[in-house]
Homo-oligomer: A and B are copies of this chain.
Amino acid sequence: MYIHAVSHYLPAQVVGNEHFTQLNGLASEWIIERTGIEERRKAGPDENANTMAVEAVRALEEKVDLSEVDLIVGATYTPHDTIVTLAHVVQHHLHIPDIPVVSISSACSSLLNAIEIVEGYFALKKARRALVVVSEHNTAYYNEEDTVSGHLWGDGSAALLLTKDRQSPKDLTIHCVITGGAATSGKATTAVVLKPLERGVIMPHGRDVFSNACQYMPKVSQQVLYRCGLTLHDVDYILPHQANLRISRNVMQTLGLPEEKLISNIQRLGNTGCAGCAIGLSENWDIFQKGQRIIVTVFGGGYSYGAMLVEV
């Protein structure tokens, strides 16, 4: 299985930390020290998870032909419409009838859940060219005045074309994907929640999220390496879920890897949910060199986690 191309979309509006300083007195230095975040993007009034999904697909269409896509898997936990999902609007946009279309949510781990679902369709020979679209409209559901988590969230989306067969020498080969749920751990069912009818993503137990994220991302990364018969010496980059720069650094320390090998966009984008790692792949696509290996590892609310090893 290969990642043939990836694109992303970021809304135009940049929200700096000073916005939260004015709003509720949080110093920019304090936000940076605690989270690494300097600024984040915010969707415009006519944008939502569905429109941003289509924008990421439009960007992908500028790079590759999507007319033969035969499966669409969308993901978001910040839905604009839970019936006409982002996968449906992407299918509508592409004008490709009669292909399987599904949207998923396992919170911030959904990118890898989506890729594993595609892996299943490829194994079944029910698809060969799959479009994965991840899109988060966190600012639709956040309470920006919440001093615990209001400053964390950003909006954005990404689209990946996965193919069963190699299309070009630049394709990323996916060697192994592992996903798991850890809803049995810690405060999994209460630590970070988004109840649409109470309109808010809140994080009552941030410390529990932090410690479980720091535990599960290194663990599943090691599991992926073990399955591939590789070790940490064979890894060029780690792209962890972009939740908090301190979590990302903690993951690198636990793995014993230097910070140069960390891919991070949270400084500019905040926590863009299940889109964060996909945006990271898109932003860094051109720096990857032939033979390099990247581990993408995720952890999200409800405590789902995953990792995959890709090689250029």
Q: Is there an interface contact between B88 and A303, defined as CB atoms closer than 8 Å?
A: yes
A98 at the interface (CB under 8 A from B): yes
User: What residues of B have a CB within 8 angstroms of the CB of A121 in the complex?
Assistant: 116, 120
Q: Is there an interface contact between A82 and B83, defined as CB atoms closer than 8 Å?
A: no
A302 at the interface (CB under 8 A from B): yes
Report the minimum CB–CB distance from A13 to chain B (whole Å): 18
How many chain A residues touch B (CB < 8 A): the figure is 64
- Chain B: which residue is nearest A185 at the CB level? B97
**Interface positions of A from 169 to 202, Cβ below 8 Å from B:** 179-185, 188-190, 192-197, 199, 201
Which of B107, B183, B192 touches A92 (beta carbons < 8 Å)?
A: B183
Copies of this chain in its oligomeric complex: 2
A105 at the interface (CB under 8 A from B): yes
Given contacts A105-B82, A106-B102, A116-B100, contact A89 B197 (CB under 8 A): no
User: What residues of B have a CB within 8 angstroms of the CB of A260 in the complex?
Assistant: none
Report the minimum CB–CB distance from A208 to chain B (whole Å): 13
Given contacts A105-B82, A302-B83, contact A113 B100 (CB under 8 A): yes
List of 6 A-B pairs having minimum Cβ-Cβ separation, nearest first = A120-B120, A101-B181, A88-B302, A196-B196, A83-B301, A91-B183
18 new A-B pairs (CB below 8 Å) besides A98-B180, A100-B113? A81-B193, A81-B194, A82-B105, A82-B194, A83-B107, A83-B301, A85-B106, A88-B181, A88-B303, A100-B179, A100-B180, A100-B181, A101-B106, A101-B180, A102-B113, A103-B104, A104-B104, A120-B124
